[in-house]
């Protein structure tokens, strides 16, 4: 059975991701195709839809912030420790999704509002790669349409989307949200017609406030030319999370991106996985070769005698330094025994006193001398 597609919703804070998720959930329930919803945003206070997996059940956002991040609320990396905690448990999430896969039609994933911490951190890459390696994954980049009417803001969003696309290498859909407030026709025209974007730039340059300088205008001209190829690989839809307009178009775009995933991303994934397995096998073989080489080196130690040294059969082989030391000790003891036979005189029943007396009286009168000494002791005056 085919794996259900996973829709990962990303976007700037305030772009309407949570409301968009609610609309997708309601639309699929209306079609009797309930999705499996995963909330990866630990700081969201109110979630207007039921979640099957909620990161808030295992991660206390405030406690993590107190533990890892300074009290200054302006620190931009305050969401990073939470993403790290999330990456540590992604295997469990994937395991649950794989068990539920035969009974669900879609997997909806809501991501943290601090998109820079989620997309560009190593932990965020672990999460996206793990999900994409198990399910056909599509990125839905949500844009706040009323705040994108300026050419500079529009270009900033496009550059952000471009960087996310080339960072994750996943199929992407640009979702212009809140079209009930502002129609997204102008944005689609800017993406498909370079002349229309140039006209919008000139119009903003003629404004009295001079918000766009000549340098900024030239920069955006250059970037719009560069992004022309980027636009060709995107599907663009305009939706209203409030009214539900454009949701059907969004799911049609998801189906087309799933085919793109199978055609382009999946072969690259299999290729990368095969390369990792081959590298792992090569590393194991290299370690095994090193082990065998070390064993051969240890087996061919200095057990064999040199050619110019003759060792008798009765002499033991010297394997280690300790054996050599023992051999030297034995040799010293043997030398000492030889000296004892010639110098020490400890042979037969002779004592050291006997040898001393024989040296003093070589004529053999030691007994008479001993008697005279005894008589002098007796006759000595008291």
We report the CATH number of the domain holding residue 108 as 3.40.50.300
Residue 358 lies in a domain: no
The DSSP symbol for 101 reads G
Closest CA to 43 of 132, 114, 117, 128: 114
Residue 287 lies in a domain: no
Give the alpha-carbon dihedral of 302, 307, 308, 312, to 10 degrees: 70
Residue 180 lies in a domain: yes
Sheet holding 107-110, edge to edge: 53-54, 36-39, 107-110, 6-11, 137-144, 172-177, 235-238
Residue 93 lies in a domain: yes
Give the total number of structural domains in the chain.
1
The CA distances from residue 279 to 34, 125, 272, 274, 284, in Å, are 41, 21, 10, 8, 9
| Residue 209 pLDDT grade (very low, low, confident, very high; cuts 50, 70, 90) | low
Buried b (16+ CB within 10 A) or exposed e, 261-284: beeebeeeeeeeeeeeeeeeeeee
The DSSP symbol for 145 reads G
Domain of 136 in residue numbering reads as 6-191+234-272
> Per residue in 153-196, pLDDT tens?
898 899 889 888 888 888 999 999 999 999 999 999 998 888 88
Q: In the structure encoding, which two tokens stand for residue 326, read together?
A: 């023992």
CA distance 207 to 322: 94
pTM score over 0.75: no
Residue 79 lies in a domain: yes
Residue 46 lies in a domain: yes
Better pLDDT: 320 or 60: 60
> Per residue in 290-304, pLDDT tens?
888 877 776 665 455
Residue 185 lies in a domain: yes
Total residue count of the chain as it appears in this document: 382
Angle at 93 between CA 91 and CA 97, to 5 degrees: 115
CA distance 145 to 175: 9
Alpha-carbon Rg for the chain in angstroms: 45
């Amino acid at each position: 059975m085919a794996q259900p597609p996973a829709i990962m919703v990303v976007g700037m804070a305030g772009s309407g991701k949570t409301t968009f998720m609610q609309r997708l959930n309601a639309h699929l329930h209306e079609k009797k195709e309930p999705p499996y919803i995963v909330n990866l945003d630990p700081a969201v206070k109110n979630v207007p839809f039921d979640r099957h997996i909620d990161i808030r059940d295992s991660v206390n956002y405030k406690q993590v912030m107190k533990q890892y991040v300074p009290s200054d609320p302006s620190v931009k990396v305050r969401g990073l420790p939470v993403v790290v905690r999330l990456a540590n448990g992604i295997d469990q999430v994937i395991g649950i999704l794989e068990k539920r896969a035969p009974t669900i039609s879609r997997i909806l994933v809501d991501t943290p509002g601090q998109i820079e911490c989620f997309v560009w951190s190593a932990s965020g890459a672990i999460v996206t790669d793990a999900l994409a390696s198990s399910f056909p994954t599509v990125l839905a980049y949500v844009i706040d349409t009323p705040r994108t009417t300026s050419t500079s803001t529009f270009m900033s969003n496009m550059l952000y989307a471009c960087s996310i696309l080339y960072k994750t290498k996943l199929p992407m859909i640009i979702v212009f949200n809140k079209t009930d407030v502002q129609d997204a026709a102008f944005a689609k025209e800017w993406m498909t017609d370079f002349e229309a974007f140039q006209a919008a730039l000139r119009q903003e340059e003629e404004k009295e406030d001079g918000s766009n300088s000549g340098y900024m205008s030239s920069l955006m001209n250059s970037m719009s030319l560069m992004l022309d190829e980027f636009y060709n690989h995107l599907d663009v839809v305009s939706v209203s999370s409030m009214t539900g307009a454009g949701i059907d178009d969004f799911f049609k775009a998801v189906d087309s991106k799933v085919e793109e995933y199978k055609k382009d991303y999946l072969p690259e994934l299999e290729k990368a996985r095969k390369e990792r397995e081959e590298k792992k096998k090569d590393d194991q073989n290299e370690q095994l070769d090193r082990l065998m080489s070390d064993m051969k080196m240890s087996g061919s130690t200095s057990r064999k005698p040199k050619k110019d040294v003759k060792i008798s059969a009765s002499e033991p082989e010297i394997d280690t330094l300790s054996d050599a030391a023992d051999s030297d000790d034995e040799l010293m003891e043997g030398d000492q025994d030889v000296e004892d036979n010639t110098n020490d005189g400890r042979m037969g029943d002779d004592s050291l006193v006997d040898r001393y007396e024989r040296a003093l009286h070589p004529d053999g009168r030691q007994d008479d001398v001993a008697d005279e000494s005894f008589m002098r002791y007796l006759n000595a005056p008291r």
